[in-house]
Structure formats: C-alpha cells, structure tokens
Copies of this chain bind each other. A is one copy, B any other.
Amino acid sequence: MTFSKTEAFTEKQQAFARMAKALSHPARIAIVEHLLKVGTCISGDIALELPLARATVSQHLQELKAAGLIQGSIDGQKVCYCINNEGFNELLEHFTAFKTLAYQSQNCIC
C-alpha cells in the first residue's frame, strides 16, 4: 500500500515532485552543482568527486537522467554527462511558480 497515490494529483504536481525527488539526496545535489560549475561535460570523474562506489554513483546518475535533469552521451568508452537544459529549466519554472504564489500570499495569522 505504498504505491503513492500519485494518480490523484495533477500532472504538474507529479512532475514537480519527480524532480524534487531527483534532488532529494545530497550526492545528486553535488552532481548537479558540479555539472553546472564545470559546464563542459564530465564522465566518471564525477565518481572521484564523491565518497561513493562507482556503482552507486552510476545509480544516482541514472536517476538524474530519468528525471530529465541531466543527459549523457557516449564518447568512445567514456560517457559524457551534462545538464539537460530543457528539464533543468522546467524545474526552475516550477520554482518560479512557487515564488509567485509566495509573493501573493498573506502572512501567517496563526
């Protein structure tokens, strides 16, 4: 009974939640930050940056890719990862919407 009743919520809420979930682990935050900083694509050097086994890093990379936040392309025997701008911008839009709501919201009266 844990298949989180996602179908009961709007597509937008589900999309936002999926992206937030992708960022819900510090290792994945670190990966995204690194890719944003380095800009140019990086492969398994990411694993060197993190205190995790390569298999684990690979797993985190797959999750970020599935969420549409990063993309990877094969370059010889290496894989070159970078930010997926389309997905990343979608994430920022979700937050802009949040921010807009926050501006309109009254202060808490509790």
Interface residues of A (CB under 8 A from B): 4-6, 8-10, 13-14, 16-17, 20-21, 23-30, 32-33, 35-37, 39-41, 50-52, 71-73, 75, 80-83, 85, 88, 92, 95, 98-99, 101-102, 104-110
Contacts and interface: CB of A to CB of B under 8 A. Distances in A.
A32 B16 CA distance: 12
Contacts of A8: 26, 50-52
Nearest to A73: B110
Contacts of A92: 95, 98-99, 102
Given A72-B110, A108-B83, A110-B75, A26 B13 contact: yes
Contact of A26 (B14, B28, B52, B98): B14
